A and B are shown apart, each in its own frame.
Chain A
Amino acid sequence: MLRSQRIEALYALLFLAPFLIHLGIFFVFAFVRTVGFSFTDATLIGQSSRFVGFANFVELFREPRFLAALTHSISFMLVVTTLQTFLALALAAVLNQRLRGITFFRTVYYIPSVLSSAAVTVIAIWFFQKTGFLNTFIGYIGSLSPVLLTFGVLFVLAQAVQVGLERWRGLPVPWLDPALATISLVVALALTWGLVGLGVVRPLEARPPEFTWLTNPDRFLGVPIPLWSIVILNTFTTIPTLMLIFLAGLQDIPKSLYEAASIDGATPLQQFFSVTVPMLRPVTFLVITLSLIGTLQMFDQVALMGDAAPLDSIIVLAYYVYNNVFSGEGKVGLASAAALILAGLTFAIVLLQRALGISEKAH
């Protein structure tokens, strides 16, 4: 090797050193230690430990709580990844429109991502309480149902009358003509207000539902209700980040494709499915991969829920690992085995999605 080449290599190593040291300590060292611990019966407070082979792994699959955590983690991953990918794409498509003040809406929709997870979870605990905002709000909407129903019926009537009149005059107006809809809206609002004022239509007594979100051991679609609360919470907080990635992807699609499509007579819906979706494939791959990893490793929201919900109905793998180390005598060996299973699962699922799911290349 030439002297200059050697010096260059040395410089490269020097620049890489901070990252390599960090990686070495917090990843390689930690990972090797975890693998080592997983074959022993080490505890946090014990003085010595023995090699136990695969006993920890065998014990894990006999333990109901671990199996619960495993199924919760997998169902959480499937539900949340699906929900947030579709919703983030829809939101990004809407926010990609050229409208006045669109930056304001982009900012507003991004805010949930900026909030700290701890603050959002604490607020969510109040939100989901039996007498919390969600149930009170549902009760309020329920009590207003006669008013809302009157408004809806009046609106449909006003619109039907107007469109009927226009068509009778021979004008081809669509059923949801915006100009006529605005007039119908004003008319319906005024009439409803009048009827409520006259006491003809009256709101019912507010009766919030008795449904409990956090302390409910029941299941919906095989997933405990408290975990559904975390699904809602997690989807809400992670959509904005994914939306931002989609938005960046959308702006990369050449305008000429849309122009060509519209010349060929494609409707906006056809354009979305035949141009936008295929062109976004590399971005969708990234979003789904990030989402799979993120949901499998979700920990904070379960930890912060704490005693607000029964542990067995919200436990996921990452929390199972933590809980085993920091309760009882601190089963480090068992927890390490569970951590390795979580790592293996994450790896396998990402590989599987790469092989069978959405590919990296645009068509």
Chain B
Amino acid sequence: MKKILVTLALAVLGLASAQTVVKLQGFGGNDTAIMSSLVREIVNPALEKEGIRAEYQGIEGDYRAALLNALSAGTAADLFYVDIFWSEPLFASGRVEPLNKYFTPQELAVFNRNLLNAFTLRGNVYGLPKDFNTLAVQFNKDLFDEAKVPYPNQTDTWDTFKDKLKRVQAAIKDVAGLCVVADHARFGAFAHATGWRPFNAQGRTVLDANFRRAFEWYTSLVKDGAGKYAQDLGEGWTGGCFGAEKAAVAIEGAWIGGFLRDKAPNMRYGTTLIPLDPVTKQRGNFIFTVSWSMNAASRNKEAAAKVLRALTSPEAQNWILSRGLALPSRSALANSPIFQRPGKENELNRVVFQGSTSVGGAVLPFKFGALDGGNWMRPINEALQAVITGKKTVDQAIADAQAELNRIVR
């Protein structure tokens, strides 16, 4: 009798757990709506037969703090976003499952090589790139027309670009050329163009003559009347000024498309590549990307791997791309006809995608070795701010930043 009861109980439990739930965690805001639809329309139908169901949970506020907390408390989801910016310390900690076991080299090879490398540590792949972004120059066509200045284009060097900005700022009252931000996430693209790299062969950060050249040009934008300091205009990013028509150009990625759709739906804007360094005739850029990574403490690793495959499948990436939400991480989609469609947002996506290819010049992932990106960037950001606001000379600011970086990069 007892045996029958136990068997019955097990059977009931078995039925109840026939559906394996794989929990996903990522950014809140827009991502919650997008990922929930993707999971509902693409991922879950594909996995229904196998009895797997995915659930997306967006985290509002400080995602990173929430994720680290959940990981250390053992309550993190089975799959979660990892931003490349702070990925390496997390991958090195052993809290993230290497994916080589679950995916064959052929399966991994379909992803953009640069992106996959960004999530590889000591030969192990710790995440599949979800999508990516680079920087591009967005310009307000009406403002340039009104100022009778030619639009920025991909043959512009720093000098011709700055000259155009100066002319727009001089011609139109209350409009800046560019909202200058004291942020390495923008300035760094120009520094890369000079041949400077965040870390030299010895793994140290040296703010050399090349860095200085980019630094001087970038900080001179405000002084020479080609831009205004974003915080003085009450904005935190170049896109904020651009959307409010306080600035004629912005330097942002494809994320500005969705923002402008809400903020300035009728704005006529164009997009072009970041200007060239006049000395090296090169451009520079960053790759911003987020991975899908697996929790090493997950109890449903096999099921999670299947969900991961569905999340990064060609169908899923096409679904995202066709809605203009993000750029696909699969190389094959680079030739998608969607990129060739007319319209300002398609142009934006196309140029941002090009930024990651050879046209983009010196493109580096937005991460800083084994260090936390925020800590590494802070001295440079504060140096930029000090010079832009006229508190320090270029020499002094760079010397102070170098001293601080010597302390951080050990």
Which residues of A are found within 8 Å of B94, using beta-carbon distances?
47
Q: Which of A45, A131, A215, A308 contacts B93 (CB 8 A)?
A: A45
> In whole angstroms, what is the CA distance A328 to B370 when docked?
9
A46→B236 CA distance, assembly (Å): 34
Is the C-beta of A4 less than 8 angstroms from some C-beta in chain B? no
Given the complex of chains A and B, what is the CA–CA distance between A62 and B234 in angstroms? 37
8 Å CB interface, A55-103 against B: none
Q: Given B65, B89, B231, which contacts A215 in the complex, CB threshold below 8 Å?
A: B231
Contact A216 B231 (CB under 8 A): no
B385 interface residue per 8 A CB criterion: yes
Docked-complex contact A45 and B385, CB < 8 angstroms? no
Residue A112, interface by CB 8 Å: no
A129 x B93 contact (CB < 8 A): no
Chain A neighbourhood of B90, CB < 8 A: 45
Contact A327 B93 (CB under 8 A): no
- Cβ of A340 within 8 Å of any chain B Cβ, yes or no, is no
Among the listed B65, B68, B71, B389, which residue makes an inter-chain contact with A216, where contact means beta carbons less than 8 Å apart?
Answer: B389
A289 to chain B, nearest CB (A): 32
* Chain B proximity of A247: nearest CB distance (Å): 38
Report whether B371 and A129 are in contact in the complex, using a CB–CB cutoff of 8 Å.
no
Shortest beta-carbon distance from A295 to chain B in Å:
25
* Interfacial chain A residues near B71, Cβ < 8 Å: 44-45
Contact of B391 among A46, A217, A308 (CB under 8 A): A217
Q: Which of B64, B231, B371, B391 contacts A326 (CB 8 A)?
A: B64
Q: Beyond A327-B374, A328-B372, A329-B372, is A45–B231 a contact (Cβ under 8 Å)?
A: no
Closest to B94 in A: A47
- How far apart are the CA atoms of A131 and B378 in the complex, in Å? 25
Instruction: Across the interface, name the chain B residue whose C-beta is closest to A311.
Output: B378
A331, chain B: closest CB distance, angstroms: 11
Q: How far is the CA of A46 from the CA of B95 in the complex (A)?
A: 8
* Chain B residues near A132 (CB-CB < 8 A): 234
In whole angstroms, what is the CA distance A214 to B68 when docked? Answer: 30
Q: Which residues of the other chain, A, contact B62 by a CB distance below 8 angstroms?
A: 326
Q: Are the CB atoms of B391 and A216 closer together than 8 Å?
A: yes
Q: B72 — which chain A residues lie within 8 A by C-beta?
A: 44-45, 330
A27 is an interface residue with CB less than 8 A from chain B: no
A45 and B68 contact, CB distance less than 8 A? yes
**From DSSP, what is the main secondary structure of chain A's interface residues?**
loop
Interchain CB contact under 8 A, A129 and B375 = no
B347 at the interface (CB under 8 A from A): no
User: How big is chain A's contact interface, by range?
Assistant: 20 to 34
Nearest residue, chain A, Cβ from B236: A307
Is B386 an interface position by the 8 A CB rule? yes
B232 CB contacts on chain A under 8 angstroms: 129-131, 212
Task: Please name all residues of chain A whose beta carbon is closer than 8 Å to the beta carbon of B236 when the two chains form the complex.
Answer: 307
Tell me, yes or no, whether A310 is within 8 Å of chain B by CB.
yes
**Does residue B69 face the partner (Cβ distance < 8 Å to A)?**
yes
Return chain A residues, CB-CB under 8 Å to B392.
217
A126 contacts B by Cβ under 8 Å: yes
Question: What is the CA–CA distance of A214 and B229 in the complex, to the nearest angstrom?
Answer: 13
Chain B residue with Cβ nearest A130? B232
Q: Is A8 an interface residue (CB 8 A)?
A: no
Q: For window 132-175 of chain A, which residues contact chain B by CB distance below 8 Å? A: 132
Q: How far is the CB of A328 from chain B (nearest CB, A)?
A: 4
A129 to B229, CA, bound (A): 11
| CA–CA, A308 and B371, complex, Å | 23
A307 to B371 alpha-carbon distance, docked (Å) = 19
Q: Does A300 sit at the interface, judged by CB under 8 A?
A: no
A360 on interface, CB distance cutoff 8 Å? no
A218 close to B (CB within 8 Å): yes
Residues on the B chain within 8 Å of A47, using CB: 93-95
Given A328-B89, A330-B68: A129 in contact with B234 (beta carbons within 8 A): yes
A327: chain B residues at CB < 8 Å are 372, 374-375
Given contacts A131-B233, A328-B372, contact A218 B391 (CB under 8 A): yes
Q: Which residue of B lies closest to A48 (CB)?
A: B94
Closest residue of chain B to A312, judged by CB?
B382
Given contacts A47-B94, A328-B371, contact A126 B68 (CB under 8 A): no
Q: Which of B32-85 contact A (CB under 8 A)?
A: 62, 64-65, 68-69, 71-72
Per the bound structure, the CA–CA distance linking A13 and B89 in Å amounts to 48
Closest A-chain residue to B232, C-beta based? A130
B229: A residues at CB distance < 8 A: 130
Q: Which residue of B lies closest to A303 (CB)?
A: B62
Contact assessment for A44 and B382 in the assembled complex, using a CB-CB cutoff below 8 Å: no
Q: Which of B64, B234, B385 contacts A310 (CB 8 A)?
A: B385
A215→B233 contact, CB < 8 A: no
Complex CA–CA separation, A46 to B231 (angstroms): 38
Given A129-B234, A131-B234: A329 in contact with B386 (beta carbons within 8 A): no
- Min C-beta distance of A299 to chain B, whole Å: 14
Contacts beyond the supplied A216-B389, A326-B62, A328-B375: 14 A-B pairs with Cβ under 8 Å: A43-B93, A45-B90, A129-B231, A130-B231, A132-B234, A212-B232, A217-B386, A217-B392, A218-B391, A311-B378, A326-B64, A328-B371, A329-B89, A330-B68
Supply 24 A–B pairs (Cβ within 8 Å), ascending by A. Answer: A44-B68, A44-B72, A45-B72, A45-B90, A46-B93, A47-B94, A130-B229, A130-B231, A212-B232, A217-B382, A217-B386, A217-B392, A218-B391, A307-B236, A308-B231, A311-B378, A312-B382, A326-B62, A326-B65, A326-B68, A327-B374, A327-B375, A329-B372, A330-B72
* Closest A-B pairs by Cβ, 8 of them: A328-B372, A45-B93, A326-B65, A130-B232, A329-B89, A44-B72, A44-B68, A310-B382
